[in-house]
Amino acid sequence: MTDIMIPAWIDGELQPVEKLDAHLRGLRHKAVSVFVMAGDAMLIQRRALGKYHTPGLWANTCCTHPEWDEADNTCAIRRLGEELGITDIQPNHRGQVEYRADVGGGLIEHELVEVFTVEATRALALALNPDEVMDTRWITLDDLRRDIAATPEIFTPWLRIYMEQHSALIFGADA
């Protein structure tokens, strides 16, 4: 697998590191998460079965890593297009969160995440990249919380963390 170089911290210094290596070593690294919203509903994606970690699990709309020297907003726009075929949008930066999670297979996500939201309609045109995404669905935040409580194992660790610990930052104080 050819791996992209992502920004990760080694000995307190930001350096380019292969993405898989950053996950194997549990290095703190930069990430981007996007939440496409239509009112109180979020577009979630089911990760393709060929993904090297958390295949087949449900995640937020788009989660990725900026390439070395790539701006976070540029990364969010690029990956929405590459994964879901979503174009002509402008993400709204909501803030930054950090988490560390075991994602299985000896891999650790230790991410400093720039969080973005996008306001859309449920009629949003999608063109799924089958190497990245196997399914999508719209779900209200309340229904998502209920589903995570009932069957947490079908959701990525980071989506569970976002919903449990960072809802106010991502979705607003009333979420």
Measuring CA to CA, which residue among 57, 75, 68 is closest to residue 8? Answer: 68
Please give the structure tokens belonging to residue 81: 């297009």
Other beta carbons within 10 Å of 106: 10
For residue 82, indicate whether it is catalytic: no
Measuring CA to CA, which residue among 50, 126, 44 is closest to residue 82? Answer: 126
User: CA 73, 12, 4, 50 torsion: positive or negative?
Assistant: negative
For residue 111, indicate whether it is catalytic: yes
Instruction: Please pick, among 63, 83, 109, 114, the residue that the annotation labels catalytic.
Output: 63
Q: Cα(41)–Cα(84) distance, rounded to whole angstroms?
A: 17
CA distances from 24 to 69, 105, 111, 155, 160 (A): 22, 9, 13, 21, 21
- Helix (H) or strand (E) holding 165, with range, is helix 157-165
Instruction: Please pick, among 83, 109, 111, 114, the residue that the annotation labels catalytic.
Output: 111
Q: Cα(135)–Cα(128) distance, rounded to whole angstroms?
A: 8
The catalytic residue positions are: 63, 111
